[in-house]
Amino acid sequence: MFCSYPILLYFYVGIIKIDFKDGGPLKEYTIIALVSVVITIFTEYKLKTGIFKNRLFYRFLLIILLFKLMVNGYLTSSQIVNYNPDYFLGLRLISIPFEDFLFGFSMVTLTICFWEHFGERNN
């Protein structure tokens, strides 16, 4: 259930457009990506899984990052997936928005946190 929060936040980004008083758009995608990272770090802190201290976790993230670069890089560079520049900072690694990496970190890390937490309770 909690693992779906970043996905729900991700879905929200495309629904509402909010503008600042000066007429510039609010960068919802960026804000929600940052909020998802904060929620993830807070969740790990509360569950005390210790995954941030585990070197294997960072190796796993590196593997995920490599596949993300291949798949998401292809999708964004070939224009299969497009992003409205009003909603994100515009920072990209190759063709992938920086915010995608934040969401990826959140989804993978939350999944591992809950896997570790509930796995320990069952053993």
Exposure string over 54-70, b if 16+ CB within 10 A, otherwise e: eeebeeebeebeeebee
The pLDDT value recorded for residue 88 is 80
The pLDDT value recorded for residue 28 is 80
Task: Write the CB contacts of 35 (distance below 8 Å, at least 6 apart in sequence).
Answer: 9
Ranges of residues in the chain with a pLDDT under 50 are 10
Largest CA distance in the chain: 56
The pLDDT value recorded for residue 59 is 95
The pLDDT value recorded for residue 113 is 94
How far apart (Å, rounded) are the C-alpha atoms in residues 88 and 11? 14
The pLDDT value recorded for residue 108 is 94
